[in-house]
Structures are given as C-alpha cells and as structure tokens.
Chains A and B, each alone.
Chain A
Amino acid sequence: MSAATPRLHSLDPIGPGHRVTLGETLPLKLDCGLDLGPYQVAYTTYGRLNADKSNAILVCHALTGDQHVANTHPVTGKPGWWVSMVGPGKVIDTDRYFVICTNVLGGCMGSSGPAEIDPSSGKPYGLRFPVITIRDMVNAQAMLLDHLGIHQLFCVIGGSMGGMQVLQWAASYPERVFAAIPIATAAKHSAQNIAFHEVGRQAIYADPNWNKGDYFDHGVIPRNGLAVARMAAHITYLSEAALHRKFGRNLQNRERITYGFETEFQVESYLLHQGSTFVDRFDANSYLYITRAMDYFDLAAQAGGNLAAVFQGTKTRFCVVSFTSDWLFPTSENKEIVRALNAAAANVSFVEIETDKGHDAFLLDEPEMFRTLKGFLDGCAEVRGLNGSQT
C-alpha cells in the first residue's frame, strides 16, 4: 500500500470511493490512551441520501473485508464481498437506501493503519501504529458520519467483526441507530477465538520476512506467515460438513496417493489457494492489529460486566441472526446478546438460520436470511416513514 496524500473521489490503487482526513482539530481518543489525528477514513457509498438524511445504512465489514462491499474489488477484480445482499433490488436496496461502508481503522485499503505512512517519520507505521479497538473503529465511523452530516443511521448491519461494530454502535450511539442487525457475532471474543487468532499472529511473527513489522523497509512482505494465518483462520469459517461436501477426501490432480508431501488432497490445494490470494490483498500488520481489536472486544466490560446495562433504555430495533453450523460465533453467543436485549426490554428479533455452511454463511446465498432481513428492514422502514413512495 503506498501511502499518499489524502485524495477525494479517486483512491487508486485502492479502488473507487472516497477518502477523508479527519481529526485534524480534534484527535480521536483511542481506548489505549493515545490520541490519533489526523487520520484517514476510506469509504464507499451506493445509492442516494434522501432529503432528510434518514435512509443511510452503514455496512460494517469483517476481519479481512474492506469498503468494497458492492463494487468490483480493485485488487482482485472480483465482485464486492456482499453483492448478494447489497445492490439495486437486493435486501439492502441501493435504489432505496444510501449505503456507506468504511475501511476500518487499522485496515489496509486506505484508512489509517500500520501500512500507512507515519507523518512523523515519513515511513510506514508498522508496529508504531497505536493498538486500536472495535470501539475506536466505531468512533472513527461516527466522525465520518458527522463529516457527512448524517445524524442518525437508519440501520447498521454487519457479520462477525462487522457484528461487533454493530453492537458497539448500538451501545455507544443508541440515538444514532434506528435499527441494528448483528449477524453471526458475539458480545465478547471467546477464549477459543482468541486462541485461533494467536495461531495466526504467531505464524506472521515466525516469518523471517516480518522483521518485527518493518518489512517494507526491507523490500519484502511476510507472505508465508500471513498465508498460514489465513489458512488456519479459513478453516474456522467453514464447517466439517461444508468441507466434506466440497472436497471429501478427493485427491488433487492424481489417481492415487503418492506417499509424499506434495499437495495430495483437494482440500490442501484449496487452502493454499486461499492463503496465497489473501496475501496479494492484505497487509500482515493490519492482520495483527485487527485480530487484536477483536480479541479485546468485551461489550459487557464497558458496563461493569452487565451486558443488559449496555442496552438499558435503548430504542433501537434489533434483529440478531445466527447459523446452526457456525462454531466460531455459535448460536449460544448470539443468544447471549438476545438475552441481554430482552433483559433491557429492547425491541429484538432473533433467528437461527439452518445451514451447513458454517460461519461464512452470512456472506453466501442464504435465502432464509435474505427473507428474514428483508422483512425486518421493511418493517423498520415503515416505522421510520421511509416507505412513502413504496406503499
């Protein structure tokens, strides 16, 4: 990622969208105690903001996502990561809603992060970038909304780490969130999930090219370490049933096993491919920072350990979604959110979608999820008075 002076409306090589510099007068107060400012936020928008600015939907991306939610990805050339959900006539209908997606703080697609140039040294931050949290990401997004003059979001939606941001939004800015859709997420990162993240980080540290984060200085990147991190993580996004359905024990380009250590099984080849393509679009240090942000997430801890207290008095309408085969953010974790919302007498719906596709199901074609969310959004739009031309 080359760091450049902030430009508007032209983000090459990080793709279409916008980038703003924020925090020039008032820095962002980070959870770690440091101030960050000025900082950049890269974002995309789709659709048109209505006259009273009441139809904005913020889409929050997951760990390895970015702002290219519904346009061709500038690096991979592939469709945006949520084109099944966001677009004209889709559940998040860009003919009807104004959709915003930001690259999270700490990311590597144009928002401030470890790959960007530290103005004080003229070199990439590396590990000198401050450690950030989910709340810091959300605060940065809130500053962007101030910049755009949008007071209240009609909806905040996201899966996995995106769901954590949704919950943080509802907790930090309840009056700015009319509806919230946290999908396949949790109010705190579990020990098991922290453990998986640590495996990924250790793989990066162990790559000799990592150079304690200063790999750009050496003209290298820790490809192998980041690829292994991605491979390990990718397994957690699937399910045993999905892996079996896709690959079984099928062999890769061979008739029989060869008693060696070349790529023998299709599932190995698939993972290697996942690892190597990921490295082309993601920064290793960003991976460290963002996994750390997820590990630190514990919403109840922000209210003395009582999750219901976080949502006390909220007027936001919630729709929580989980998937039966998701073992990374299982239904039990999602129900904990629902339980707290009930205890706070909040307006909450909850569905568990039956699927064998694991955690990644939220990114895939899940008609039941689409149907549920469309119904939920339509209901909210009616209450919010957004249905004028539709009904």
Chain B
Amino acid sequence: MNDRALTPPSQKSGGHKDIRRDLLLIAEMVAPKSRLLDVGCGDGALLEYLAREKDVDGRGIEIRQSGVNACVARGLSVIQGDADTDLPDYPDAAFDYVVLSLTLQATKNPRKVLHEMLRIGRRAIVSFPNFAYWPVRLQLLLGGRMPMTAALDDPWYDTQNIHLCTILDFDDLCARDGIVVEQRIAVDGKGNREGWKLQGNLANIFGAQAVYLLRRRGA
C-alpha cells in the first residue's frame, strides 16, 4: 500500500513532534502501553512515535521494501506484506488496535479487510479521504472530470484508489455490518477538526478526510 503518498504534501512532515497531522489524530485514539498493528506503516513514523510517546508495543506491515528496511533499521518489528493478503495470518484478538491509515480505499476488498482488522484487533482505527468533500463534488459537477485534490492527487489512470467512499457510505457499512463507531474525527483541507461544519452529517461535505475508532458490536 503506497498509502501515505495520498497525503497532501503540506501534511507530510513538520507540525507536531515530527509526525504528520493525520497520524497524530490516530495516535490520540491509542491508549498507552497497548499492542498495535499498523497496516501500511510506511517508514514507521507512527509506530516510532507511539513507542516513544505512549510506550506502545507496535508491529507493522508494509508493502515496499524500502519502507520495511527503514522500519527494521529503526528497530521496529515490521514485515513485508499487504492488507489484502496478510491479515488472515494473525490470530484473533492479537492486538488492542489495528490501524489502517489512508489505505482502505486502495484495498481489493475493503469490507473483508475491515472485518479482518476487527477480528485480530479489539479496536480498529481507519482513516480515508472523503469522496463527498465539497471540492470533489464541485469538480465533478462543474468540470465533468475525475476530481483531483490534495488528498486525491493522482489522475484516474494512475491512482491506487479503487474503492473510494464517502463518510456517509462508511457510516452505512458500519451500521450494516454491526460495527460500532466509538469515535469519528473529520478534518477539513487545512487539517482543522473544530467547528460546526465538521460535526454530524455536515462533515460529509466539509471533511477532506475522516478517522474512525471502531469495534465490533458486543465486543
């Protein structure tokens, strides 16, 4: 999953303690001293941050050799693999959290991936770009071409995003599949998360991306 390429350049570094703002949102949801699997962990920035700041026992999966090598060289436990094929190898409830950041829309079978995450983790943390974000709507409505934004920055013929969805779509899937949304944070194009525009159903218009904390009903 070349997931992190989806992130706008402005968010890629800098800001808070050297990790991207969207990763920081995820980090906020994680309890200290927990066990966590980061699927599509890139160069291990989130894992390293969580190990340092929250004493989290983290593992990673990353598809690119360069990413895996960077992680292992940082002392992180990371294997080469991807969300679609490697999650079934893990036992039930092996982790407190399974994280999938800006990658769900690039998986072959996102619904299956989601359920696998909730099988091997007590909680899942998922973030994705919102396809109902207003600039996306406008570009399609007025321009008549596939929209390109900071979060969706590849042309249609180059993109890895094969299962794009909106915040409402994702809410529907959770409701249909018995997945409880414990927390949802929507952020606008500038990374802001406060304000009435990003609450409730309006988030589906003004949110550029969303981060969900999920668990299975009854779990």
**A338 adjacent to B69 (CB under 8 Å):** no
Q: Tell me the minimal C-beta distance from A170 to chain B in angstroms.
A: 15
Contact (A375, B80) CB under 8 Å given A342-B89, A350-B68: no
Q: Tell me the bound Cα distance from A166 to B77 in angstroms.
A: 18
Q: Which of B78, B80, B89 contacts A352 (CB 8 A)?
A: B80
The tally of CB-CB contacts under 8 A between chains A and B is 67
Within 8 A of B (CB), among A340-362: 342-345, 347-354
Known A-B contacts A350-B80, A351-B80, A375-B74; A342 and B90 likewise in contact (beta carbons under 8 Å)? yes
Task: Check A379–B80 contact: CB distance below 8 A.
Answer: no
Contact A379–B76 (Cβ < 8 Å): yes
Docked complex Cα distance between A317 and B80 (Å): 16
- Residue among B68, B69, B71, B72 with the highest chain A CB neighbour number at 10 A: B72
Query: Smallest distance from the beta carbon of B85 to chain A beta carbons, Å?
Result: 10
Indicate whether A256 reaches chain B with its CB closer than 8 angstroms. Answer: no
Q: Which of A342, A344, A345 contacts B79 (CB 8 A)?
A: A342
Among candidates A339, A349, A354, residue contacting B76 with C-beta atoms closer than 8 Å: A349
What B residues does A380 contact at CB under 8 A?
A: 75
Contact B65 A376 (CB under 8 A): no
Contact present for B69 and A368 (CB under 8 Å): yes
CB-CB under 8 A for A376 and B72, given A348-B77, A349-B79: yes
For residue B142, CB closer than 8 A to chain A, the reply is no
Q: How far is the CB of B22 from chain A (nearest CB, A)?
A: 25
Shortest CB-to-CB span from A374 to chain B, Å, is: 7
Measured CB to CB, the closest approach of chain B to A366, in angstroms, equals 11
Which chain B residue has the least Cβ–Cβ distance from A340? B89
A343 touching B91, Cβ below 8 Å: yes
**Structural contact, A351 and B72, CB atoms closer than 8 A:** yes
User: Which residues of the other chain, A, contact B91 by a CB distance below 8 angstroms?
Assistant: 343-345
A250 to B76, CA, bound (A): 46
- Bound Cα distance A26, B59 (Å): 43
CB of B77 within 8 A of CB of A353, answer no
**Is residue B219 within 8 Å, beta carbon to beta carbon, of the partner chain?**
no
CB distance from B93 to the nearest CB of A (A): 10
Number of B residues with CB within 8 Å of any CB on chain A: 20
In the bound complex, do residue B94 and residue A372 qualify as a contact, i.e. CB atoms below 8 Å apart?
no
With A342-B89, A343-B89, A368-B69 known as contacts, the answer to whether A350 contacts B79 (CB < 8 A) is yes
Given A317-B77, A342-B79, check contact A349 B72 (CB 8 Å): yes
| B89 and A339 form a contact (CB under 8 A) | yes
Size category of the A interface is 20 to 34
- A209 smallest CB distance to B (angstroms): 47
Contact A349 B77 (CB under 8 A): yes
Q: Which residues of A contact B79 (CB under 8 A)?
A: 320, 338, 342, 348-350
Complex interface: chain A residues within 8 A of B89 (CB): 338-339, 342-343
Give every chain A residue within 8 A of B65 (Cβ-Cβ): 351-354, 368
Q: Which residue of A lies closest to B68 (CB)?
A: A351
Q: Please state if A319 and B94 are interface contacts (CB–CB under 8 Å).
A: no
Say whether A375 contacts B90, CB under 8 Å: no
Per the 8 Å Cβ criterion, residues 69-107 of B in contact with A are 69, 71-81, 86, 89-91, 94
Chain B interface helix/strand/loop/mixed = mixed
Q: Which of chain B's residues has its CB closest to A380's CB?
A: B75
Which residues in A have their C-beta under 8 angstroms from that of B90?
342-343, 345
Q: Does A378 contact B (CB under 8 A)?
A: yes
User: Which residues of chain A are near B78, meaning CB under 8 Å?
Assistant: 349-350
In the bound assembly, the distance between CA atoms of A348 and B86 in angstroms comes to 14
Given A342-B90, A345-B94, A352-B80, CB of A376 within 8 Å of CB of B75: yes
Q: Is A382 close to B, CB under 8 A?
A: yes
Whole-angstrom distance between the Cβ of B178 and the nearest chain A Cβ:
25
Q: Which residues of the partner chain A approach B71 to less than 8 Å between Cβ atoms?
A: 349
Q: Is the CB of A372 within 8 A of B75?
A: no
A375 to B65, CA, bound (A): 15
| B73 proximity list for chain A (CB < 8 A) | 371-372, 374-376
Whether B75 lies near A319 (C-beta < 8 A) is no
Tell me the complex Cα distance, A352–B91, Å.
Answer: 23
Partner of B69, one of A347, A348, A372, A382: A372
Contacts of A352 in B (CB 8 A): 65, 80
Chain A contacts for B76, CB-based, 8 A: 349, 379
B77 x A347 contact (CB < 8 A): yes
The interface residues of chain B lying within 8 Å CB-to-CB of A338 are 79, 89
The residues of B that contact A354 with a CB separation of less than 8 Å are 65
Chain B residue contacts of A353, Cβ below 8 A: 65
Collect the chain B residues with CB atoms within 8 Å of residue A382's CB.
75
**Interface residues as binary, A236-262 with B (CB distance below 8 Å gives 1, 0 otherwise):** 000000000000000000000000000
Which A residues fall within an 8 A CB radius of B?
Answer: 317, 319-320, 335, 338-339, 342-345, 347-354, 368, 371-372, 374-376, 378-380, 382
**Can you offer 24 A-B residue contacts whose CB atoms are under 8 A?**
A338-B79, A339-B89, A343-B91, A344-B91, A349-B72, A349-B78, A350-B68, A350-B78, A351-B68, A351-B69, A351-B80, A352-B80, A371-B73, A372-B69, A372-B73, A374-B73, A375-B69, A375-B72, A375-B74, A376-B73, A376-B75, A379-B74, A379-B76, A380-B75
Given contacts A320-B79, A339-B89, 17 further A-B contacts (CB under 8 A): A342-B79, A342-B90, A343-B89, A343-B90, A344-B91, A345-B91, A347-B59, A347-B77, A348-B79, A349-B76, A351-B80, A354-B65, A371-B73, A372-B73, A375-B69, A379-B72, A379-B75
What 7 pairs between A and B have smallest CB-CB spacing?
Answer: A379-B75, A375-B73, A350-B79, A339-B89, A342-B89, A349-B72, A372-B72
